[in-house]
């Protein structure tokens, strides 16, 4: 006779939910064509032995890589200007050059945004 590992045996557990929550669970499980128990296991990531993933309801958008690069340059230059000005307590030629670069980055960003 084959012995079944106790850790793999299914055991019934009870938990309490409101009628509304139960209907929601049934509906969500039904949308994925799985049982409520499998839906709960999937959402809790129990079958993969991993932590459950946090649900992020914010929409994601594809962004133009050039736009991201320009924004990164913009913020880097702004930080350099702030740091340099705070350290030296004055605006010198280096700060002016950074401001000109920053201005150029802003114009490039505006151009990309206008094209959309």
Domain residue limits, the chain: 17-57, 65-115
What percent of the chain has a predicted confidence (pLDDT) above 90?
2
What is the CB-side half-sphere exposure of residue 68 using CA atoms within 13 A? 5
How do residues 22-55 score in pLDDT, each as one tens digit? Answer: 898 899 889 988 988 888 888 877 655 555 556 6
Q: Tens place of pLDDT for every residue, the chain, 116 residues?
A: 455 556 666 777 788 888 988 898 899 889 988 988 888 888 877 655 555 556 666 777 777 788 888 888 888 888 888 888 888 888 888 888 888 888 888 888 778 777 76
Could you tell me which residues come within 8 angstroms of residue 16 by beta carbon, excluding any fewer than 6 positions away? Answer: none
């Amino acid at each position: 006779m084959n012995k079944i590992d106790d850790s793999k045996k299914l055991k019934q557990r009870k938990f309490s939910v409101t009628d509304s929550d139960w209907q929601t669970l049934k509906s969500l499980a039904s949308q994925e064509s799985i049982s409520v128990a499998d839906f709960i296991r999937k959402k809790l990531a129990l079958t993969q032995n991993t932590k459950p993933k946090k649900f992020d309801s914010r929409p994601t958008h594809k962004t133009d890589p050039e736009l991201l690069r320009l924004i990164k340059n913009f913020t880097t230059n702004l930080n350099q200007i702030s740091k340099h000005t705070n350290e030296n307590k004055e605006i010198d030629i280096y700060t002016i050059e950074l401001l000109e670069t920053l201005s150029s980055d802003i114009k490039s960003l505006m151009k990309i945004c206008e094209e959309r």
